[in-house]
Amino acid sequence: MSDSCQNLPKISQQRPRSRTTVGKSGDVKSLHQEHPKQEAVTNSHAESADFGLSISGINKGSGEENVRPQKGQIIDFRGLLTDAIKGATSELGLNSFDCNPDPSERLLKPLSAFIGMNSEMRELAAVVSRDIYLHNPNIKWNDIIGLDAAKQLVKEAVVYPIRYPQLFTGILSPWKGLLLYGPPGTGKTLLAKAVATECKTTFFNISASTIVSKWRGDSEKLVRVLFELARYHAPSTIFLDELESVMSQRGTAPGGEHEGSLRMKTELLVQMDGLARSEDLVFVLAASNLPWELDCAMLRRLEKRILVGLPSREARQAMIRHWLPPVSKSRALELRTQLEYSVLSQETEGYSGSDIKLVCREAAMRPMRKIFSALENHQSESSNLPGIQLDTVTTADFLDVLAHTKPSAKNLTQRYSAWQSEFESV
């Protein structure tokens, strides 16, 4: 037992000094004979000393050590031991192991302090808390190529109200809802990750699986708990990805809509109305690939609606240069390119950012396929591969890949433009 408790703090005896030294069992007995009235206290100290615990140096505001207790004073050993263990734990964690807290990890308030909820609601709160970003996605504004207008509006809605709250009062109160819509692969989710990285808010990454339950009545309860948790952890950002999956137009489903789905949608609308009437720093950021399927009541509550369209020619050129620079090194692999970026940016018109990344990966894979047979014939006990010399990726290689990789959302461009002209709010 002594080996297992060596790391615990030492407890020095807080009692009047005596000529009798506490060392051996005989000394403790003589001490009891001299001070029979303090026998109970001494026994407690002796038992604590056997376990290696110590409460010395615990001061509550006086700044003095080894305070001599007065006669008849009741000593709160439980409180002293609790403080000692807390101090030893922090010292052991930070000093002994040099454990510095990770600044990229967000510390949340404990759910035990989530008052005003019964046990059922706290269980639902634990379910919703799983979708909180605890780690930094490490996506910054400068990492997003293009989308300057969208980034500026997101900053006005989320970043600036938190950084300069004195400017956003009265009629200038911050927006409570923002919708990012556009073709898939254009950077809507990337903007949300930048918000989670740059804004230092509690970020709820919510999908349909989070707030839709098969149990009757649980879906609307999950929606309510979501917004209560967002207020509890404020400032917060609630990101609703693929919004059309949970807030499609009511009454349009063939055969009628299920009442559970209607109750969940109604609760979501009610909670968003509550945000508009409150001063809580809770912001709803939504993304949708099919904005024409959204309910009109939800569109009214999403005050800003921003089209995240296909990248411009300058943005496409910057993306190709980013993914296929003239020289790129990765461990023992070196890839060289000879590309006419201006020509390629013109040829990739209609491609989304995700499509361009896919084309760049395929172009870089072409020279890699030529050496697979040589790598399979290379037999060595070590895992280290010999120096690999890849062929240079040329403009002709890129155009050949482009001919076999079609854009994913080029045909929807006109439909997004038509919806923007009718429902735009920037």
Residues in binding site = 182-189
Q: What angle do CA 410, 416, 422 make, to 5 degrees?
A: 160
The tokens describing 154, both together, are 């997101």
* Residue set of the binding site for ATP: 182-189
Single-letter code of the amino acid located at 344: L
**Residues 409, 354: contact at Cβ < 8 Å?**
no
Single-letter code of the amino acid located at 259: E
Residues in Cβ contact with 369 at an 8 Å cutoff, skipping those fewer than 6 apart: none
